[in-house]
Amino acid sequence: AQSVTQPDIHITVSEGASLELRCNYSYGATPYLFWYVQSPGQGLQLLLKYFSGDTLVQGIKGFEAEFKRSQSSFNLRKPSVHWSDAAEYFCAVEDSGAGSYQLTFGKGTKLSVIP
Amino acid sequence: DGGITQSPKYLFRKEGQNVTLSCEQNLNHDAMYWYRQDPGQGLRLIYYSQIVNDFQKGDIAEGYSVSREKKESFPLTVTSAQKNPTAFYLCASMRTTGPGTEAFFGQGTRLTVV
């Protein structure tokens, strides 16, 4: 079965600093990978996704992620964090086998931003 | 505007009561999902449905029930058999035209047992 690990439960960065959130996945075939963001008490919004091609993908709000098959990783990055980026971030892998479309989520990384 | 609407936003349940959470979508998506979110646990799949009148259990279906009588609607009932129902519940929908499609989420319902 597929699984997603986000090793960092909580990260605090200063506004303007760079950010990297880690994600490792376990999946037998070519993975379809996603990063979602959740503001407190809200639903999830898609930041970016990878399913083929260029291993560096660009998303909304200045985020990017790099797929590294050899490391089974899909880390999320942003060069300069803004206070509005404070939220919880979820990495997910899609299981599209046998016609099912299910997402398996990591446990999330909460980002705090110091002004 | 197309989207997913969950209601109510906050719900309080007494011990032993069944409660139903509403989820409606106007995105014309075939697949709909219910997730439970607890602090530090991420999202766990309760039930999902890929076509009308059909649904499958997810990882934590015990104590929950669903129906899918219309494409647009996928209500979740939290029964008295669910021993720890206090959580944040998220509904999502997705096209099923191929892998790698985006899931769209509602704004969630926070259920509290009083």
pLDDT digits (tens, 9 = 90+) for B58-109: 999 999 999 999 999 999 999 998 989 999 999 999 988 777 788 999 999 9
Please report, rounded to a whole number, the percentage of residues in chain B having pLDDT higher than 90.
Answer: 80
Q: Residue B102 and residue A49: Cβ atoms within 8 Å?
A: yes
Q: Which residues in A have their CB inside 8 Å of a CB on B?
A: 9, 32, 34, 36, 41-46, 49, 51, 90, 94, 96, 99-103, 105-108
B8 preceded by a cis bond (ω within 30 of 0): yes
Sign of the CA dihedral with B86 first, then A87, B90, and A93 last: negative
* pLDDT value of residue A97: 66
* pLDDT value of residue A102: 85
Longest dimension (CA), chain B: 43
Is the CB of residue A15 less than 8 Å from the CB of residue A76?
no
Measured between beta carbons, which residues in chain B are less than 8 angstroms from residue A94? 99-100
If residue A69 lies in a helix (H) or strand (E), which one and from where to where? Answer: none
Is the CB of residue A64 less than 8 Å from the CB of residue A74?
no
Q: What residue type is B5 in one-letter code?
A: T
Nearest C-alpha of chain A: how many angstroms from B101?
9
Instruction: Give the tens place of pLDDT for each residue, B47-58.
Output: 999 999 999 999
Instruction: Give the tens place of pLDDT for each residue, A76-111.
Output: 999 999 999 999 999 999 876 666 678 899 999 999
Instruction: Give the tens place of pLDDT for each residue, A17-50.
Output: 999 999 999 887 778 999 999 999 899 999 999 9
